Structures are given as structure tokens and as C-alpha cells.
Amino acid sequence: MEVYRSFIFRLMRNYLIGSLGAVFVVGTVVMVSTLQIPNIQFVRLIIIVLISLLFMLVAELMTLWAQLGPIRQFFAAEHHEKAELTKMYESIHRFPGQTIYRILGPHMLGFSLPAAGLTIWMISTGWLEFPYGYVAVAAACALLIAVMHALIEYFLTVRTVRPLLLEVRRRGKEQHGMEPSLGGRVLVSIQRKFQLSTALIGLFPLFLFFLATSIRLQYMDSEFAKEYILWAVLIVVLGGGFALVGSWLLIRDVRGPVAELTEEMNRIQEGDLGRRTPDLYADEFSALISGFNMMINRLEMRQERNRQLLQSYFSTLAAALDARDKYTAGHSMRVAEYSIMIGKLSGMNEEQADLLYKSALLHDIGKIGIPDEVLLKDGKLTDEEFAIIRTHPVLGESILLQIEPIDAMADFLPGVRSHHERYDGKGYPDGIAGEEIPLFGRIIAVADAFDAMTSDRPYRNGMSHEKALSILEEGKGTQWDPYFASLFIDEWRRQQHLQKSSERGVS
């Protein structure tokens, strides 16, 4: 509750300063310097001000107590549900806006109604000697002062609630491992704050001067006062128009770079780090955009480093696997190269091609779990041994599922598990057929078979590339996906033809 008590102290301090300033400094000083009445009537006016101030304080404190009720109850408790934390975080953000309604409602009416009633009563009894119209002017002044007071109080309260917001976030992180946030929602737009603030700042002195001077002139020359009022209204209208145009120009100047930065942040959130925000400003936004672009540079460098580390991680895993058997050294890397060649020929985008490449690097990772006496056997495998070998796709999937976070390997699992499935459904481990076989599995199956046929083994030499291509061609539609097998065969033969043509040209 210490944070809440500190908040209440600052809130009441700001309120008392603002209220006393509005009522005494502005109201009383303007009243004293404007009205020309006997001292006894000034005393009676001061009494009216004090009585009205009492009514105002009672009305506003009751309203404030009701507005603070949910916040007070929240901080009195020790533990909170997630939904309660999120709701309170938003409620605290809305509290400065409630300050405006409180000042323009109970605050202003609590003062104005008793003051107007008592003043009219004293005029009717002869205790005050000035026209009833002055009461309307005083009411207009009260409204003007209340609006300005509400504006100042709003911005002071925005700063006052920040320790409460920090405490709610601290409790959220401590109790549920989350920090409440508005999630980018805008409760009060910058445009509205700037337009209202600048317009009021421009209009307040004009209106106050107009109202005070119109009363003062009544004592000097009533006829001139009437002419002055018409002229002053024109000046106030022109001044108000200037204030509104100025506020519009100011908010446009601020909203432009804010909108640009928001757009760029949304783009970065989607993973696009390719662009930089142009620095077209000569004010503090220049430093902000410069820092923003520097942040993107650092993010891009970190992303590239992470990509390299991840690529190295996959390559190291593949190399560690291939190192178990000198006869299959480089097998995973070659399968990955063949696979990405097929993927790009099929029109695969860069992101998908990268996932395919990594899947192919890991396609035999399950062989880590196969005993050496089976995996490294020189002769032909028995049925029992071959059954053990056939478990490596499932073992590979199980190994990858152990890597944290769980979703990190999700894109690679289908290719690892299904690269020994056959297009006719006679493969393993699931016996699925056709396009039911995952895309990466169908592509890796072609690349894996070609490298296996063309690589040397302890019990046989690798066959020629052309013979392996012929076997792939014969197996299209039965063992291998006909489309991907054709892509690989045609591209390999095209490259061989280009190579032979180049050799003949050299000779």
C-alpha cells in the first residue's frame, strides 16, 4: 500500500495547488481588480467564495473517493488474477481522463451553483450592488477556469499514476510471469491532446481578458462598452481560429514522424529489417529516428549472427552423424545440396528452401540411436538388423522433439520422419502414399536415394551417375514422386551436357 499512499499524497497535493490557484489566484484576483464596489461588499463576496469552496470540496472529494474505490481495493489485496491485473492496468490509464470529468462536474458545479445562488440572493437583498448580468459573466469565467484547471490536472495526473502502473506490472511479473500492457491500444490520441491543449492555451487568456475588460468598461463608459464587446467578440473569434489552425499544424508536424515510426515498427514486427526510416527532421525526432535506425542495424546484425550460428549448429549435427561412418562422410551435406536444388527448381521461395535444406541436413539424425554393430556392418544386413535400421526416421523425430523450445524443430519433423516413404505407399515408417507424404519427405527421398546409389560402401562400389538416374527414372511414380524425380533427373543431365560442351570447347 506504500505506492498507493504515495500516489494519494501527490494527487491531493496537485489538486489543492490547482484548486487554490484557480479559485483564489485567478478568481479572486480577477474579481478584485475588475469590480469597483465598497469594501464591505468585497468581504461578502469573499464569504460567498469560501462557502462555495466548501461545497466544492465536499462534492469533489466524494466523487474522488468513488473513482479511487477500485484502485484502493486492488492495492489493498496481495494476490490478483491475470484478468484483474490487466483490467486494473487499463483502469489506471483511464484515471487521468476521469479527472477531467470530476473537475468539470462536481468541482465546477459544486462551486458555481452555490456561488451563483448566494450572489443572486445578496443582490436581491441589496447586500451586493451590481447587475445580475455579472453573475452570468462570472459563470462563464468559472467554466473557463475549470476547463484550464482540468487540462493542467490531467497532465499532472498522467505523471502521478506512473508509479501505480509500474507496481501493477511488477505484481504481474512476480505472480504470473507476465507484465500487463495495453498491447498497442490507444486510449487517448496524441492528436486530441495536442489540439485541445493548444486551443485552450490560446483561447484562455483571450476569453479571460475579454470578460474582465467588458465588466471594467461598464464602470467607465457603458456606451463604449457595448461597442467594445462587438469588437472583442471579433478578436476572440479570430484568436480562436488562429489557435485551432496552430494546433492543427502542430499536431500534423508531430503526427507525421510518429506515424512513420509506427509503420516501421509494424514492419519490423513482421520480420522485415531491410529498410531504414529516412531522417527528414531537424528537431528531436532526428535523434529518435537515428536511434531507431541504429537499433534496426543491431537487430539485423544479431539476426544474421543467429542465422549463422543456427546454420553451423545444423551442419555440426550432420557432420557428427557422418563422422560415425567414414563411408558415408558428407552424405548429409550432399543430400541437402541435392534437395535444395530440387526445391528451387520447383519454385520454392527462399524461406521454404532454407527449411528444406536444414531438414535434409538432419534427415538421418536418428541413426545416432542405431548400434554401431548394425550401422557400421560391412556385409548385408539381416532382416532383424534391417528392421532396426528402419527405426531411424522415428528416432530422428524423437530426438528433434527433445530440443527446446518445442516449436523450434516443428518445420523439420515431417521431412525427417517421412524421407523413406514410397510414392506407392510401400515405404516406412507410416506406409503413406502419393501427396499424403509431406513435401520435404518426397524431395529428400529423391536426393537421399541418388547419393546412396552413387556413394561407395564397404560391400560395393558406388554406381555411375547415369545408372542412378536411370533407376530414378524407372522408379518415378512407384518409389519416388514423379514430379520431383523428373526435376532432378532433367537438371542433372542438363548440367552434365553443359559440362561436356564446356570441356569440348576448351580442348
Residue 31 has pLDDT above 60, yes or no: no
- Of the listed ranges 107-116, 209-218, 329-338, the one predicted with least confidence: 209-218
The stretch 286-294 carries a mean pLDDT of 83
Residue 314 has pLDDT above 90, yes or no: no
The stretch 100-121 carries a mean pLDDT of 88
Query: Would you tell me how many other CB atoms lie within 10 Å of the CB of residue 493?
Result: 13
Residue 232 has pLDDT above 80, yes or no: no
Residue 479 has pLDDT above 90, yes or no: yes
Residue 448 has pLDDT above 90, yes or no: yes
* Nearest Cα to Cα of residue 115 among 148, 146, 142, 133: 142
- Cα separation, 187 vs 206, whole angstroms: 31
Per DSSP, helices labelled H in 77-107 are: 82-102
Q: Exposed (0-12), middle (13-18) or buried (19+): which is 296, by Cβ within 10 Å?
A: buried
pLDDT given at position 22: 63
pLDDT level of residue 109 (50, 70, 90 thresholds): confident
pLDDT given at position 216: 64
- Of the listed ranges 39-43, 75-79, 123-127, 338-342, the one predicted with least confidence: 39-43
- Cα separation, 422 vs 479, whole angstroms: 5
Over residues 164-185, the pLDDT tens digits come to 999 999 999 999 888 888 877 8
pLDDT given at position 425: 94
- Of the listed ranges 224-238, 286-300, 408-422, the one predicted with least confidence: 224-238
Residue 436 has pLDDT above 80, yes or no: yes
Residue 495 has pLDDT above 80, yes or no: yes
Which residues are CB-contacts of 397 (< 8 A; sequence separation ≥ 6)?
366, 413, 416, 417
348 vs 130, residue with greater confidence: 348
Residue 487 has pLDDT above 70, yes or no: yes
- Cα separation, 365 vs 321, whole angstroms: 7
Residue 1 has pLDDT above 90, yes or no: no
- What are the grid coordinates assigned to 380, written together? 548385408
The stretch 476-492 carries a mean pLDDT of 94
Whether the ω angle into residue 405 lies within 30 degrees of 0, i.e. cis, is yes
Instruction: Compute the radius of gyration of the chain from its Cα atoms.
Output: 40
* Nearest Cα to Cα of residue 336 among 344, 325, 324: 344
Over residues 134-159, the pLDDT tens digits come to 788 778 777 878 888 888 888 889 88
Which residues are CB-contacts of 39 (< 8 A; sequence separation ≥ 6)?
none
Within 13 Å and on the Cβ side, how many CA atoms surround 448?
24
pLDDT given at position 33: 56
Highest mean pLDDT among 115-119, 231-235, 397-401, 420-424: 420-424
Q: Are 37 and 130 in contact (CB under 8 A)?
A: yes
pLDDT given at position 349: 92
Mean pLDDT of the chain: 83
pLDDT given at position 450: 94
Residue 238 carries which side chain, given as an amino acid letter? L
- Cα separation, 294 vs 275, whole angstroms: 12
Percent of the chain at pLDDT > 90 equals 28
pLDDT given at position 231: 73
Residue 281 has pLDDT above 80, yes or no: no
- Cα separation, 184 vs 175, whole angstroms: 23
**pTM listed for this prediction:** 0.59
- What are the grid coordinates assigned to 316, written together? 555440426
- Cα separation, 477 vs 40, whole angstroms: 111
Question: Could you confirm whether domain 324-506 is CATH 1.10.3210.10?
Answer: yes
The stretch 124-143 carries a mean pLDDT of 81
- Cα separation, 70 vs 74, whole angstroms: 6
Residue 70 has pLDDT above 60, yes or no: yes
